[in-house]
Structure 1
């Protein structure tokens, strides 16, 4: 029995510490709409405000306490590996170095082509080695987005297969993608619905379970290199009530064309 001078128990507090899940950054696309800039430089390495697009995500992940990232590559992927190598370091305000280890899922080397989003994620899952993970597209600019450990912890405690950040519809995508109800569930409504729709930001928390039956029919690790989109998996999970989401009102841009890139660099 503790005495009045016994130290307070700390085991439960230590057990409650939440470790950030790893991240998968999507960087395999050819970037056809970004040509001719993407003919010689992969789109995630194009500079926005002085640094490569992909580096904005890496900085935010490192600052948020994420310690592992996988980058999937295909078109000119060797340039991405050459630019970031196996580790990204961020000098924190406390003078402590926040380091993020990086590994690569090279779809061009393995199969000669990109595998689309779901195919690429399924292929990268063995490298992620995690039940949940952050996902972000390497051609999206969201400089104020925080990869919050609290958000990841809430997601881990839920039964959702995905948690999506939705954004106001940009001019090039006025119809949006998905609706959001008052309980924070993302809805796959029919085209005739008049409910407001928002655009999927391509930033999410995902559960590896989404890439197995009955949601996905790809073999574990996608050894055949099948190309498959992510939207059908998400829509199946939405229909089952297992996709949550929230609106993100910070700066966000899908940097898909030279004109959008130039606008950000004005």
Structure 2
């Protein structure tokens, strides 16, 4: 199985912190955000990774090179600016990802989720959902006891971690596209399942949440 690390976002809410450096290269606990994802993927046996690039993408390419320090091969999907958003970025990288389901993960999260759990047959997507954080109390998707993701409350928050099948994007034209409408269409067809992660998960969307994540990681050692 391959993986895609989504690293093209500009991180505008981070202010001066990302003026000269892309958000995936911000340091937490002595490790860059994107390195944390690569390490977790390596622990799950993922040795081929695609990374999409846009804002200051050259800095990410220069830092990581063609091979991670865990021995993973890395190829890059260059989007230019503006970025293609999550859905469009994945569609643009499908030729690099191949015909099998793949893991997709946001570069700007801190988690202890075990990516080896992301294996499921017969679905277009397997989403990792988390309890709603204070900054996103409304949540995103519902989850039935059977594991089927729905559009009905109560809602949980999509973590930015998923297994996706290329079939999810069949018939969708390339271009700048959000992922959520694509998922919603598949959810309406009963083609999306989910799992709940109750462990560590922190979204680095603002300087305050970055500071909180740093404190949390330092406390955990």
Please report the TM-score for the alignment, with normalisation by the length of structure 1. Answer: 0.79
Residues 74 and 113 in structure 1, CA contact (< 8 A), matched pair in contact too: yes
Of 163, 178, 186, the match for 2:126: 163
The Cα of 1:151 is off from its aligned counterpart by 3.7
Q: Following superposition of structure 1 onto structure 2, how do residues 37-52 of structure 1 map, counting pairs within 5 Å?
A: 37-52=17-32
The Cα of 1:89 is off from its aligned counterpart by 2.7
2:165 aligned with 1:207, yes or no?
yes
Alpha-carbon distance between aligned partners in 2 of 1:257 and 1:145, rounded to the nearest angstrom: 22
Give the structure 2 partner of residue 245 of structure 1. Answer: 194
2:137 aligned with 1:174, yes or no?
yes
Give the structure 2 partner of residue 115 of structure 1. Answer: 84
Q: Following superposition of structure 1 onto structure 2, how do residues 87-98 of structure 1 map, counting pairs within 5 Å?
A: 87-90=67-70
Q: Could you list the runs of 5+ residues in structure 1 that have no partner in the other structure?
A: 1-20, 91-98, 190-194
Alpha-carbon distance between aligned partners in 2 of 1:139 and 1:229, rounded to the nearest angstrom: 17
2:22 aligned with 1:24, yes or no?
no
- Computing the radius of gyration from Cα coordinates, the structure with the larger value is 1
SS where residue 227 of structure 1 aligns?
Answer: coil
The Cα of 1:146 is off from its aligned counterpart by 1.3
What value does the CA root-mean-square deviation take over the aligned residues? Answer: 1.0
Residues 49 and 73 in structure 2, CA contact (< 8 A), matched pair in contact too: yes
State the aligned residue count.
215
Q: Could you list the runs of 5+ residues in structure 2 that have no partner in the other structure?
A: 216-221
SS where residue 87 of structure 1 aligns?
Answer: coil
Please report the TM-score for the alignment, with normalisation by the length of structure 2. Answer: 0.94
